[in-house]
Amino acid sequence: MRIFICALGLYLILEGLPYFAFPGRIKSVLAQIGEMPEGTLRLFGFFAMIAGLAMVYFGTR
């Protein structure tokens, strides 16, 4: 549980950093994401999950 809390904290730090550092740019990027087709977003999400799974796998070996 301790590792999970640390991982969650790290995730929140990394997720919040772009909003803190580049709020104007984030607004424009989110507007562009809103205009993307759902299929593209699903594909991007799928590859992000695979990359995360690979990182966890190789990080725990």
pLDDT value at 21 more than 90: yes
For 39, phi then psi, to 5°, come to -60, -40
Please give the average per-residue pLDDT across 4-31, as a whole number.
Answer: 95
Closest C-alpha to 48, from 6, 15, 18, 1: 15
Contact between 18 and 26 under an 8 Å Cβ cutoff? The reply is yes
In this prediction, residue 10 has a pLDDT band, given cuts at 50, 70 and 90, of very high
Mean per-residue pLDDT, 4-26: 95
Domain range for residue 15? 2-59
pLDDT in tens, 24-58: 999 999 999 999 999 999 999 999 999 999 998 99
Q: State the total domains in the chain.
A: 1
